[in-house]
Amino acid sequence: MLRLRLLLLLVPAFACIHAFGADVNSIKSGLSGLRGLPEAQRAQRTGELAHQIAALPPGKDKLALAVGLSHLATEGDAGRDNLQAVTDTLAQAVKESPVPPGKNNAPSGVYVELAELVRYENMALPAGLGEEPQYQAAVQMLADQDKKVESTDFTLRDTHNKKWTLSSLRGKVVVVNFWATWCPPCRVELPALDALADHFAADGLVVLALTDEESMKVIPFFRADPHFHVLFDTGHKVGNDFFVAGIPRTYVFNREGKLVAEAEDGRTQRQFLAMLQKAGLH
């Protein structure tokens, strides 16, 4: 996912990782090339990088690499075993090099990342972190945010100037996806969203794709109207209400308007199908 906190964590750390020598440089190279690999190779490489990072000496540099991999690993389908290895490595790194809380005693982004892996990716939390106050604070923060998202309503216009109001779609299964034309993982997952919007249209699926870009950039991006509805979130207002700090980000609401699934980063069609199953679509 293209997240600001990833940059904040990695920039100062990568400045000094040369101290570990070729192994770290090899890992850096592996992280840089991960997005360019075919899906099957990428999944395997993700697991390999997790184990390589886990073998590094403790320190801030190891933690930065673990955080970097955790962000990349959730773009697409790395497989449960590989993603669990990523989770275990991140947990190990933060246990070895604890990070202080942020402003106003907010949980560090590392603990939020772990909580997201557990909550949204269904990973197992390694022993010894569940009672960590920052982790508990991160879990509570995500629960509070999801509760607010579930109660948030919005009205936005689409590419044809038609208004769409979220609350008016009760009785439908609704996917709310945040994306942008400049976002590589977003571009990768859009065809899957389009195919699903078409396939499940008769079953009441509505896919709303929200962007804060200008229409002059968005409308030419599509050669023809997609089966989902592109809405303009001017000023990222709805994105802020949904706590979207990076894209792509996807929320699935069932027919009663309950938030039943959430994903950070790009998803494959198979992963989207698993999310829709939680809303009763099969």
List the domain boundaries for the chain: 2-146, 155-277
Cα(212)–Cα(214) distance, integer angstroms: 7
Tokens describing residue 84 = 């669990």
Report the candidate in 226, 241, 238, 237 with the shortest Cα–Cα distance to residue 186: 226
Q: Model pTM?
A: 0.88
CA distance to 50, 74, 121, per residue, from 80 (Å): 13, 11, 9
User: In the 8-state DSSP scheme, what is residue 249?
Assistant: E
Positive or negative CA dihedral for 228, 229, 232, 236? negative
Average pLDDT per run of 10 along the chain, which is 282 residues long?
47 42 83 92 96 95 96 94 98 96 94 96 93 96 98 98 98 98 95 98 98 97 96 98 97 98 95 97 94
Q: Residue 1's pLDDT is what?
A: 54
Question: DSSP strand E in the chain: where?
Answer: 2-3, 155-157, 163-165, 173-178, 205-211, 229-232, 246-247, 249-253, 259-264
Q: Residue 3's pLDDT is what?
A: 54
Exposure pattern of 108-137 as b/e (b: 16+ CB <10 Å)? Answer: bbbbbbbbbbbebbebebbeebeebebbeb
Cα(114)–Cα(134) distance, integer angstroms: 11
Given the candidates 3.20.20.20, 3.40.50.20, 3.30.360.10, 3.40.30.10, the CATH classification of the domain at 155-277 is 3.40.30.10
Neighbours of 21 (CB within 10 A): 9
